Amino acid sequence: IKGNYFRGPNAPPKVRSVIPWVGYAVQFGERPIEFLLECKEKYGPVFTFTMFGTDVTYCLGSEASAKFWGSHNDILNAEDLYRNITEPVFGEGIAYAVPHKVFSEQKQMAKEALTKKRFEAYTSIIEKETLDFIKGWGDSGTFDFFEQMAKMIVFTATHCLHGKETRDNFDATAAALYHDLDGGFTPLAWFFPYWVPFPSFLRRDRAHVELKKRFGRVIAMRRESGKVKAGRTDLMETFMTVPYKKVLDGRTMTDNEVAGLLIALLMAGQHTSSTVSSWLISFVCTVPGLLDKLYEEQKKAFEILPGPLSMEHLDHMPLLHACVRETLRLRPPIMCIMRRAREDFVVKAEGRTYAIPKGSQVCVSPTVNQRLPDEWDDPLTFDPYRFLKKEDGKYVVTMGEHLPKGGRFKWVPFGAGRHRCIGFEFAQLQIRCIVSTLIRNFDLRLASGKLPAINYRTMIHTPLDANVVYKKRPEAVV
Ligand code: HEM
């Protein structure tokens, strides 16, 4: 990292590169976390660098990122940056392809299907799906854990969120279509318009049309059977029945919007949750004795209450929940969150004022906030107990707010403010149900004995070579 160049008295310091246009794209691509930490160390919490001709300004740490999280979408805007990538995958009429107030209502509707009441139904669905999946593993073996999680979570999430009919019809063709659609989230999509005929873009577009047709058939079947309000607990039902409140003249969603949102929400949760589950098992296997403690917790919970798995069981598993939160701290799937400044944007941190000009790309990083030594003690150590506090002799799971150290945005794996994740509770529930079911049935260890390296080449930081050796427990029910 060279130089310390200021554009105007209050502009963030610029990390100058000797390579014009490309700037720090290579360094950021190869070791983004270390690069950002080094820049913070040298330039302070707010700085700018160039990547492929774009100046990117990062605001790191609780104090410097606070205004980012609190900003209105008209000032720091999401769709200016995300639309080109997401619209071809999710379709028109939803998410970043519509004005923010419409997307806000769509998220509000989704939240109605992601309540504690519905979670009761989801818990046993996820346990059953997990059991069906792991039945195929046999008594022992080795596999790439991330691959297994990615496959399994499509089933658990589809069943909970898209409904039973979609799950029953989920076959190899549907999996291939999702794969092609997902292939649309390639780095090419950041730099080229959606219509360029790259093979991956063409596959993406075909998959989009085909998946929408499939959803269309299920929606039509539900409408025809007249059972729209028959107590179903999935998101499809909610989107089909709940009208917009303050926008679009209070109409209900079109089939196209319903299908698009179902695709979007599955994709928002699928890689994120499978990555977290894989890192969780990887961390747990590297801390001596932790897997045994988790297994003990499972046995106790099921001694107190007989199965199947329920929300009440999960209340008896605080250590498992704390492991999920600690994994989300050290390996948040979304490393950076971006906005376009539609107005000049001023940030104050560490006694300085930074004037970020209108038009800039402004970013924050959950990964960096969550591993700063001024926010966390011993930040690089996996210690789930930091998320537990004792109340009346019992462990209660926190988000780290009870700790004396750190600011308000030290733990932000699901973002914060207007764009905060609506799948926050569901994702944690899904991961806890899956991991609970796995460790009750299998003993697991990492084939290499070492924590896998981080794969920086994927948009979500997945584990590289997460090979896990598994062995069925004598008490297993599969
Ligand atoms: C937003 C992370 C699972 C739906 C976000 C954001 C983050 C995030 C960091 C903020 C993005 C931004 O500010 O630009 C995660 C993680 C997950 C997860 C780590 C799992 C471990 C899910 C699931 C769903 C979901 C399961 C759906 C059921 C959404 C939606 C938004 C969002 C709709 C709002 C986007 C916006 O308003 O711009 N998520 N997510 N996520 N997430 Fe999640």
205 against 226, higher pLDDT = 205
Q: How far is the centre of ligand 1, averaged over its atoms, from the C-alpha of 278 (Å)? A: 18
Q: Is the CB of 160 under 6 A from ligand 1?
A: no
Q: How large is the average pLDDT for residues 422-428?
A: 96
Nearest to 341 by CA among 23, 54, 39: 54
Q: How far is the centre of ligand 1, averaged over its atoms, from the C-alpha of 402 (Å)? A: 24
Q: Is the pLDDT of residue 3 over 80?
A: no
pTM of the shown model? 0.95
What is the residue with the minimal CA distance to atom 41 of ligand 1? 423
Of ligand 1's listed atoms, the one at least distance from the Cα of 328 is 19
Q: First CA to last CA across the chain, in angstroms?
A: 54
Q: For residues 142 and 419, what is the distance between their CA atoms, to the nearest angstrom?
A: 39
Predicted local confidence at residue 410, as pLDDT: 98
Q: Is the pLDDT of residue 315 over 90?
A: yes
Q: How large is the average pLDDT for residues 372-390?
A: 97
Q: Is the CB of 269 under 6 A from ligand 1?
A: yes
Q: Is the CB of 280 under 6 A from ligand 1?
A: no
User: How much is the mean pLDDT over the chain?
Assistant: 93
* Local confidence band at 233 (pLDDT 50, 70, 90 cut-offs): confident
How are beta strands 14-16 and 46-51 bridged, if at all?
parallel
- Which neighbouring-strand residues pair with 363? 58, 338
Q: How large is the average pLDDT for residues 343-363?
A: 95
Q: Best of 257, 421, 424 to mutate for ligand 1, by most ligand atoms within 8 A of CB?
A: 421
What is the residue with the minimal CA distance to atom 33 of ligand 1? 422
What is the residue with the minimal CA distance to atom 43 of ligand 1? 421
Q: For residues 296 and 317, what is the distance between their CA atoms, to the nearest angstrom?
A: 10
Q: Is the CB of 265 under 6 A from ligand 1?
A: yes
Q: Is the CB of 81 under 6 A from ligand 1?
A: no
Q: Is the CB of 78 under 6 A from ligand 1?
A: yes
Q: How far is the centre of ligand 1, averaged over its atoms, from the C-alpha of 459 (Å)? A: 14
Predicted local confidence at residue 192, as pLDDT: 87
How are beta strands 467-472 and 442-446 bridged, if at all?
antiparallel
413 against 187, higher pLDDT = 413
Residue 177 structure tokens? 């279509």
Q: Is the CB of 107 under 6 A from ligand 1?
A: yes
ipTM: 0.99
Predicted local confidence at residue 231, as pLDDT: 62
Q: Is the CB of 268 under 6 A from ligand 1?
A: yes
**387-418 tens-digit pLDDT:** 999 999 999 999 999 999 999 999 999 999 99
Q: For residues 461 and 164, what is the distance between their CA atoms, to the nearest angstrom?
A: 31
Nearest to 206 by CA among 181, 223, 188: 181
* Local confidence band at 374 (pLDDT 50, 70, 90 cut-offs): very high
Q: Which residues are annotated as a binding site for heme?
A: 421
Predicted local confidence at residue 7, as pLDDT: 66
Count other Cβ atoms within 10 Å, centred on residue 289: 7
Name residues whose C-beta falls within 8 Å of residue 6's C-beta, 6 or more positions apart in sequence: 13, 14
411 Rama class: left (phi>0) / alpha (psi -120 to 50) / beta: beta
Q: Measure the CA angle with vertex 66, ends 61 and 70; round to 5°.
A: 150
Q: Is the pLDDT of residue 280 over 60?
A: yes
Q: Which residues are annotated as a binding site?
A: 421
Residue 243 structure tokens? 């009208």
Q: How large is the average pLDDT for residues 309-334?
A: 97
**26-38 tens-digit pLDDT:** 999 999 999 999 9
Of ligand 1's listed atoms, the one at least distance from the Cα of 276 is 21
Q: How far is the centre of ligand 1, averaged over its atoms, from the C-alpha of 274 (Å)? A: 14
Q: Is the pLDDT of residue 330 over 50?
A: yes
- Share of residues in the chain with pLDDT > 70 (%): 97
What is the residue with the minimal CA distance to atom 10 of ligand 1? 415
Q: For residues 453 and 293, what is the distance between their CA atoms, to the nearest angstrom?
A: 25
